[in-house]
A = this chain, B = another copy of it.
Amino acid sequence: MAGNSFGTAFRFTTWGESHGPSIGCVVDGVPPLIPLSEDDLQLWLDRRRPGQSRYTTQRQEPDQVKIVSGVFDGQTTGTPIGLIVENVDQRSKDYSEIADQYRPGHADFTYQAKYGIRDYRGGGRSSARETAMRVAAGGVARKMLRHVLGDAISIRGALVQMGPHRIERESWDWAETENNPFWCPDAKAAGDWAAYLDGIRKSGSSCGAVIEVVASGFPAGLGEPIYDKLDSDLARAMMSINAVKGVEIGAGFEAAALTGEENADEMRSAGNKVEFLSNKAGGILGGISTGQDIVVRFAVKPTSSILSPRRSVDRYNREIEVRTKGRHDPCVGIRAVPVGEAMMALVLADHVLRQRGLTGAL
């Protein structure tokens, strides 16, 4: 009943804390005979790795992933894939100061309330460091999806809002996401954001963000109504990412303000296929994929670690002031982009296998 696993058919379980010797995961349910190497996973981990620009935490983690089981002669065997990443830069600093403090916006208070104990070093299990394993598992999911569905599929993420600054849909260019440290699909906005985030960073403040993840090329028919709908599982997946406070599919919250006429995605015949004239539904109807782009957005709150002192209490219920020094992301939403992509891959991998099984060659 403890919740460290995700997925039903393609199922992974993570372990590890921010300042333990290593973090890892087990990916179970991967079909046999899929080519898989550590490079296939490192590719994605490198996208999430901290310390790559001045806008993310300066913690230096090489995040080298090792495959310790489930692959033989370069191919998956159908047995569980063990993945391990060593923790390297867990500064041996003295954490005793914050051992008893509850930092506002962090999980310190709730972990203590729930468990009566917590590994306070770097946030312990509640640290976003755990998401490295999601990205690694997501790499396995991507490999499997391409193996089964072909190379035409893609899963891409972008930052579409930084703090209060939202980009316009018209100026969107996927290729731009690789050209700036924000995964921003709008070159002009990326420049503005750099200036904005420099200000935030220098003042020791932080800001939130909105991320959009789009999966293209997936077939109609994915999703298991009623309670494991594709959108339900995506909502659960994205909401499980650290600091996420909202998830929407397609038109999302804006759909509430539309009329039925405006919201209907009309259909036409296109050769022997169905063509939708719009995608307010975000590629999902009744919890099942339509074959259009699957579109998810999620909101990330501002990083809770800030320089300004905030009022709080400690575990002895004494009133204190908390001020976070040290290495932190001024906008954690940036590094949430590859994590959101990974969760999309993991949910889709799970639903493909729920329909197709593929646990063996039968």
Contact = CB atoms under 8 A, between A and B. Distances in A.
| Copies of this protein, total | 4
Contacts of A9: 1, 357
Interface in A235-251: 235-240, 242, 244-251
Contacts of A312: 266-267
Interface residues of A, number: 157
B253 A357 contact: no
B15 A81 contact: yes
B299 A255 contact: yes
9 contacts: A3-B227, A9-B357, A14-B80, A23-B69, A113-B220, A205-B261, A209-B256, A269-B319, A352-B362
A105 to B, nearest CB: 5
Given A239-B229, A246-B246, A257 B164 contact: yes
A32 B113 CA distance: 12
Interface string A270-285: 0011100100111011
A5 B337 CA distance: 30
A286 interface: yes
B252 A245 contact: yes
Given A233-B236, A266-B311, A356-B357, 18 more contacts: A1-B1, A1-B228, A32-B117, A33-B116, A105-B285, A111-B286, A113-B291, A163-B256, A208-B258, A227-B236, A235-B247, A245-B282, A248-B253, A256-B333, A262-B302, A269-B319, A274-B317, A353-B357
Interface stretch (A56-64, A70-78, A167-175): A70-78
Interface string A299-320: 1111111101011110001110
